[in-house]
Chain A
Amino acid sequence: MAHPLIAWALALLQTLLFIASAPLLAGWIKCVRCVLQNRASPSVLQPYRDLGKLFRKKVVLAEEASWLFRSTPYIVLGTMILAAAVIPLVTVRLPTDAIADVIVLVGFLALGRFFLALAGLDIGTSFGGMGSSREMMVASLAEPAMLMAVFTLSMTASSTNLSTAMHYLLQSGLVLRPAFVFTAAGLMMVAIAETGRLPVDNPATHLELTMIHEGMILEYSGRHLALMEWASEIKLMIYAVLIADIFLPWGIATRFTAWALVMGVVAIGAKLALLVVLLAVIESGLAKMRLFRVPEFLNLAFLLCLLGLLSHIILEVGI
């Protein structure tokens, strides 16, 4: 174990890397989608330019906006940064990993969502309310599925601590776990729903009747909007890293040597790039669902996670 100060510094660096590379991931997914749809793609760095532009712009605020509306972007970004801080990205066994386990992580995401939904209602327009109502509906169905997936993981590794669980998975080597196949599929679906991707929500739409996430942040502008956009990019990254961490933990650094850390960065970069290609393929192949098909989609996710848990109990618990 390294000196605690070095460990904390590494944790801070990892968090900074996490939030700084989130727009890159969003840019990459846009690129891949464009390629898949035979369109000329913008630069991978486009999200950074968008954020920069928004930060420089003036804020226009509705007359009705209360302090809650103005502080929500900071709170949402804060919760996302906090969530990013406790997820192992490059290396496991950082001191920040112990601050919160996976259940607390789900709690952070819920906290951010709570404020986001409130901000949607603050101005008093129908779009905001519509977005909030739908977002909370999707979230309340996705959260049990997500926790079910988390339970399967934590029962396998007998820990809800992400870092410890990953360590366990790394040590047990390559084991075919039917539970993980189902859980991975379920968690992917949850991630798609929670990050507002197709077929649940279309991140590129501003069509009134279909939007969920965009509806809530419709009244934001300037730096507030930039914070919101950045937060949702971090959220996408959180889910992607979570899936990569749990189901493909190989490559992450387990010691604090320079070589291991560099390998860790390369490994997570490669895994994320691949995952995002998969996500882009899924998105390009599917059409947006009707809102009331979304519960069916999430039901299936829940069922997959439940099957994962059951097959863990039935097939994997050593007899």
Chain B
Amino acid sequence: MADPNLTEGTVLTLALAYLAVASALLSALVALATDRYPVVFKITSFVLLGAAGISAVAAGVMNLLSGKIHTAQLGLGLPWLAWHLRLDPLSGFFMAVTGIVVLAVAFYGPAYVRQYQHGPQPLSVLGFFTGLFVAGMLLVLMADDAFLFLVAWELMSLSSYFLVTYQHQYASNRRAGYLYLLMAEISALLILLAFGVLAQFSHSFAFHAMRHAQVPPFWATTAFVLAFLGFGLKAGLIPFHAWLPEAHPVAPSHISALMSGLMLKIAVYGLIRFSYGLLAHIRWEWGLVLLLMGTASALWGVLYALMQHDLKRLLAYHSVENIGIIFMGLGLSMIFIGTGHPVLGVLGLIAALYHTLNHALFKSLLFLGSGAILMRTHEGDLEHMGGLIRRMPQTAFLFLIGCLSISALPPFNGFVSEWLTFQSALQVSVLSNAVLRAIIPVTAALLALTGALAATCFVKVYGVAFLGRARTRRIRHAREVHWSMRLAMGTLALLCLLFGVLPTVTIRVLGSVTKLLLHRGLPSASVHGWLWLTPVSAGVASYSAPLVVFGLLLALGIGYVLLHPRMSSGAIRRVSAWDCGFGALSTRMQYTATAFSMPIRRIFNPVWLVDESTTVHMDPREPLRVASVEYQLHIGDRFWPMLYEPVSRWVLSAARYVSRIQTGRVRTYLAYSFVTLLVLLWLIR
């Protein structure tokens, strides 16, 4: 199915995409080859990874700007099914997102992996699977038939499994890896089934055949449910999120950034591709399911994140939250499309895509930042940190930008996408269904709750880790990280600000994705010029991020000039903090992460499995004097006893039941073979 009008642009874009995949694969191979020479490995492997990132960004952006569809066929794979490749604006958008994060990781990597150089595992394994992982993700985006899609999907899942278990000397890592592999395989199975349902009507595994297949509504819904479960599992949607907070924290931090920042987005891509691209008629009921599940994920994710004090685990729970927000946007979009309001459907889809981009940026930034802390202090627990703003000032500044972005504060990028989600939720008046009109604003209010709780959580993270005074010796002696790592974080932080300040430009570019999927863009958003973002119309809502930044800088500047005295009376005297007259403040008197989130824990108590105990030890010599107080707190995930443990018990008992056929006697096995033979003979009669 070679494109008849093969233009120069097609060749170039496809060539860039091939180049991206090839450099990623090459980076994997080089890593294997340079096993003995870590210095060579660090340079070549990561340079090739960076090349993959740059070419992916170039291919993606070119595709987004041109809005064209490029297809090709490669004579690989099964003899009767060549690999169908396709680059359209949707895959272009995700490819660009992938490229940005991969590029940042390639900058970050060489200095970061130095700590593994003398570890028990060879670096080459890390490099090999990183390359394969990136190549797998890029191939998923380019796949235009179910076969290649699933092959690439498995490549992505399996290679990331090896990355999760890279430090397999720890039992917790092995356990996390096993759980991850299990969930990834279930997800792949469900996706396979979803494609199978479609293939039954299209009589082909190629996507272009599926697009034109006539699927009856029942089967379309079945396929959608299967795909939703499959991709939702991989995206970490509630209640399938259990693997995510286990697997993401144990991988090396730059891998966590790739997994949390990108791999989850590939699952979002899969769902968008499947429901918008392959299923012709979107029903509003699907959207409602997505909206409700998304809201639940967002709220649940942030509430669990609040209770964590392991930084990377906390960030992983925030991924659950943000995936929920993305799904809310998708759900709103589907509801509007299904009820015949395609323009608003475009708005919801753009909100979801924008949040996808934003989450990739700030989540990678935060994971890279936590990696920087981990590398310098070997400390992942917030309760042991403190005062890092003085030891690692630049990392602290960049991390702050990540915190502001993820907390959806203006003028950073997270705010824009949440604002767009709100705007699309507020257009419910056009719906005729009364229940939807009532439910959607309530979910929007829950989104507001999520945003506020996320801000609380990141005040906690930043306040406890970077502010205050150092709680342990290792923190007190932390040093700033290598400039290449700061450069990687700085790039991401700058992009967080840029995408927050220039939403109109971004939305205009995203228009080519919605033109592909829904045959229309969102011209109303930028009709008043690049300065004004007006998603529906200027009368309904407007936001001017550049003017907000300008106003803020103006207010700050004037305030500083007017109020900052230059005379001696303005000199600042430094003294020690007020200690209520009890003697010097110790670092243990500071508010801890657990203490900070205690009010929230008390309010939303039924959400968690809280196991809290206080033991008072009396002084044996003086019976009335308290010697020490021991406080223990354990927060468990409610979904383990509610869902996972019953399922695993059920599976185990089923296995035990089935295992009865394993008697160990040879004659029994012969009897099985005999019966099988008889059945087969009867069947082929």
Contact = CB atoms under 8 A, between A and B. Distances in A.
Find out whether A and B make contact in their complex, taking CB atoms under 8 A apart as touching: yes
Nearest to B560: A74
Given A62-B577, A158-B429, A159-B540, A129 B463 contact: yes
B542 A98 contact: yes
Residue with the greatest number of chain A CB neighbours at <10 A, chosen from B387, B441, B573: B441
A59 B555 contact: no
B446 A124 contact: no
Contacts of A82: 548, 551-552, 555
A219 interface: yes
Which of B415, B455, B575 is packed against the most chain A CB atoms within 10 Å?
A: B455
B463 A118 contact: yes
Contacts of A227: 559, 563
Given A144-B446, A160-B541, A313-B437, A104 B419 contact: yes
B675 interface: no
Contacts of A77: 555, 559
A101 B533 CA distance: 11
A101 B536 CA distance: 13
Contacts of B559: 74, 77-78, 227
A161 B555 contact: no
A74 B553 CA distance: 10
Q: Which of B400, B452, B458, B578 has the most CB of A within 10 A?
A: B452
Contact of B452 (A81, A123, A144, A164): A144
Contacts of A132: 459, 463, 591, 596
Contact of A55 (B459, B460, B563): B563
Contacts of A6: none
B578 A140 contact: no
- Binding site of B, secondary structure by majority: helix, strand, loop or mixed? helix
A184 interface: no
Interface residues of A, number: 83
A121 to B, nearest CB: 3
Contacts of B585: 124-125
A276 interface: no
Nearest to A151: B441
A238 interface: no
Interface in A87-123: 98-101, 103-104, 106-108, 110-111, 113-114, 117-118, 120-123
- The number of chain B residues touching the other chain, given as a range, is 35 or more
Most chain A CB neighbours (cut-off 10 Å) among B410, B423, B444: B410
Contacts of B596: 129, 132-133, 136
Contacts of B386: 124
A58 interface: yes
Contacts of B393: 67
A103 B419 contact: yes
B472 interface: no
Interface stretch (B212-220, B512-520, B597-605): B597-605
Contacts of A121: 459, 462-464, 467-468, 590-591
A218 B389 CA distance: 21
B600 A62 contact: no
B501 to A, nearest CB: 13
A104 B589 CA distance: 37
Contacts of A104: 410, 415, 419, 543, 548
A124 B469 contact: yes
B456 A136 contact: yes
Given A74-B560, A292-B599, 16 more contacts: A56-B569, A74-B556, A79-B552, A82-B548, A99-B542, A100-B410, A110-B451, A124-B386, A137-B456, A137-B600, A139-B455, A140-B452, A140-B600, A143-B448, A154-B541, A292-B602
6 contacts: A61-B572, A61-B573, A104-B543, A110-B409, A140-B455, A159-B541
